[in-house]
Structure 1
Amino acid sequence: MALPTAQPAEVLRAWQKDDLYEKQLAESLSKLMSARYASKAIPLSSVIYRSLTTLKDLQTLGEEYSGIVQVDECYNKLPSYYSRLFSIILSTFGENITRRLIHSIEKRVEQNPSLTVEAQNVLLVSLKTLSSILPQIQNIHRGLAYMGGGPLQIGKTLTGIDYVHVRPAAAAYYAHLRLLGIVTLLHAIVSCGQSLYRAKTHMDQMKEVPNEVDSNKSCVACLEEIVQPCVLPCGHIFCMQCSYGALENCALCRSPFTKNSVVPLMNYFPE
């Protein structure tokens, strides 16, 4: 006979306990590590904690406290070793891996000569918007878990891992947890909507920027009057503040350049 599915409150209680123990372990590790690597203590503590429990087919301290056990999608046996391993990797490094992947795609888009400037702008804004809403995707998943049950980590959901009770759970009405799920879901959706609106506004503003440098005295990068003009290797002209500032790619043709390749134009004034 299949064991009953774990209630959302029990899953949340187990996650809170495990998060507390991981933070305590991270605090101890940070004291043993140099200041340069102290930021690595949190993911390292998570990997150590999960490797000594979940990866060895053991309950975590939080799961033991709540009386729940991880099972596969059939709800009749423990998850496979590789499912548990991938869930640990995704839960610990999933967001960081996704951000690195998005950043790599951005670099490829910027260096792709076959794309038009308009297409590059749309793709780059879309990728940056996706990167900004990654935390809200996690919150949407968590809100749905509060309302309908299931693991709180996306990594466990993607690998088909769920929870069951191994001892009778006390009967309780979890209306407050459903309310928390609704509030979390609404907040995440509103935040995503704000990010999408800012992206749309940014793309509308870029449509007003000319594709080629015209004969006026405006810098295409900052839309201000060109002061101390400089020419990039691609031949486009910008003001010195933009050329030696945060600008890393030509705002017109997206060609990358280095600061030592910028040539100041002496006694040159745009007509």
Structure 2
Amino acid sequence: MALSCANRPQLIRSSQKDEQFQGSLRGQAHEVCQAFAGAKKWLQWRKEIELFFDLAYYCLTTFSGYQTLGEEYVNIVQVDSSKRKVPSLFQRAALICCHTLLPYLLDKEFVRLEHELHIETDGVRLSHSGLSSGSHRRSWMWKRVHRKIAALSEQQKKTLIKAVYIVRQSIAFLRRLHLAIFYMNGAFYHLAKRFTGINYLRVRRSAGDDQIVNRSYTLLGAVSLFHLLLLLWVQLNSFQQRQEAQQKWKLLRRMSYQRRNARSAEKNVVRRNLSIYVTTDELQKYVLDIQ
């Protein structure tokens, strides 16, 4: 049986097939959860339930040493970096964790950190759809984080909020950049497979001309990279405009506060003058009455 490196269309079709099947599993989980627990519980625990089904899917296939439905659909198999043997159990476990568990944890913890920072900065508790009911029960780690945040100054908290936002945007930018590199000349469609060094071999050669297909995907990668750079430029401009708007808003608030203080001072002077005038009139009347 001839084996060769899987091409980019096969990797994309395999991933799309897996996502399609996982979407079907999530839809069935949605129906079952709504039927037994109601829509409110589903909304509270939606991400956790979807994570459970994703982990179950990859544990029953990749972790157990079998092909996923997408891999079977396009006849590709996983191999390690040597491309001579299948990935070890540790590599497969690391792949599943990096592909499913790590993105969930990063997103959840960043949302909670932003939530804590906004509470400390604004003094109000913000509601967020990504926060489940259990997130309000603080663990010992988050109690410690809360104490650390409370000890920061207002400027440090605002700087940390901006840093968290930049990190989240950087992660999204990294994913887009990785996808553009894959389109141009890459063997890893997912970041998790690049980190774990897991490649793919195809069992049989496809009917199309690989050279023409590779040129098409190289062009697609160049377009994706240009779009990514354009998006980065727009994001930087938007960030700069927000900073300028915040500075203008602070200046307007300061000027408004000064105007209110000036008006209040003027009113106090007018009241004082009126009280003096009234007192003088009353004194004159009193003197006339005596005379």
Q: Give the structure-1-normalised TM-score.
A: 0.67
Q: After the TM superposition, which residues 71-86 of structure 1 pair with which residues of structure 2 at under 5 Å, given as runs?
A: 71-86=79-94
> How far has the Cα of 1:23 moved from its partner?
0.9
Contact 1:126 1:199 in 2 (8 A): no
Which residue of structure 2 lines up, in the alignment, with residue 37 of structure 1?
42
> How far has the Cα of 1:10 moved from its partner?
0.9
Contact 1:143 1:182 in 2 (8 A): yes
For the residue of structure 1 that corresponds to 2:5, the secondary structure is coil
Which residue of structure 2 lines up, in the alignment, with residue 92 of structure 1?
100
Q: Does 1:8 align with 2:1?
A: no
Contact 2:95 2:196 in 1 (8 A): yes
Which residue of structure 1 lines up, in the alignment, with residue 263 of structure 2?
none
Which of 198, 204, 207 lines up with 1:167 in the alignment? Answer: 204
The aligned amino acid for 1:176 is: S
Contact 1:129 1:195 in 2 (8 A): no
Which of 43, 55, 68 lines up with 1:60 in the alignment? Answer: 68
The aligned amino acid for 1:25 is: L
List alignment gaps of at least 5 residues for structure 1: 211-215, 229-268
Contact 1:43 1:92 in 2 (8 A): yes
> How far has the Cα of 1:30 moved from its partner?
1.3
The aligned amino acid for 1:167 is: R
Q: After the TM superposition, which residues 118-157 of structure 1 pair with which residues of structure 2 at under 5 Å, given as runs?
A: 120-157=157-194
Question: Between the two proteins, what is the percent identity of the paired residues?
Answer: 24
The aligned amino acid for 1:33 is: C
CA distance in 1, matches of 2:189, 2:256: 49
List alignment gaps of at least 5 residues for structure 2: 118-144, 261-266, 268-291
The aligned amino acid for 2:18 is: D
Which of 176, 180, 183 lines up with 2:216 in the alignment? Answer: 176
CA distance in 1, matches of 2:189, 2:197: 12
Which residue of structure 2 lines up, in the alignment, with residue 25 of structure 1?
25
Which of 233, 242, 248 lines up with 1:193 in the alignment? Answer: 233
Which residue of structure 2 lines up, in the alignment, with residue 111 of structure 1?
150
> How far has the Cα of 1:149 moved from its partner?
2.6
Which residue of structure 2 lines up, in the alignment, with residue 242 of structure 1?
none
CA distance in 2, matches of 1:98, 1:197: 26
Q: Deviations over 1:75-99 (max 9, x none)?
A: 1111122221222222223333223
Q: Which has the higher contact order (CA 8 A, sep 6+)?
A: 2
CA distance in 2, matches of 1:49, 1:184: 30
> How far has the Cα of 1:193 moved from its partner?
2.8
> How far has the Cα of 1:56 moved from its partner?
0.6
Larger Rg: 2
CA RMSD of aligned residues (A): 3.5
Contact 2:77 2:203 in 1 (8 A): yes
Aligned length: 220
> How far has the Cα of 1:52 moved from its partner?
1.0
Contact 2:3 2:204 in 1 (8 A): no
Q: Go from structure 1 to structure 2 and tell me whether the alpha carbon gap of 1:123 and 1:196 turns closer, same or farther (over 3 Å shift).
A: farther
Which residue of structure 2 lines up, in the alignment, with residue 246 of structure 1?
none
Contact 1:87 1:156 in 2 (8 A): yes
> How far has the Cα of 1:183 moved from its partner?
2.5
Q: Deviations over 1:33-55 (max 9, x none)?
A: 13222623533332222111111
Q: Give the structure-2-normalised TM-score.
A: 0.63
CA distance in 1, matches of 2:236, 2:195: 25
CA distance in 2, matches of 1:176, 1:122: 44
Which residue of structure 2 lines up, in the alignment, with residue 51 of structure 1?
59
Q: Deviations over 1:123-145 (max 9, x none)?
A: 43132122134333222212211
Q: Deviations over 1:176-200 (max 9, x none)?
A: 3223322333323322332233334
The aligned amino acid for 2:199 is: D
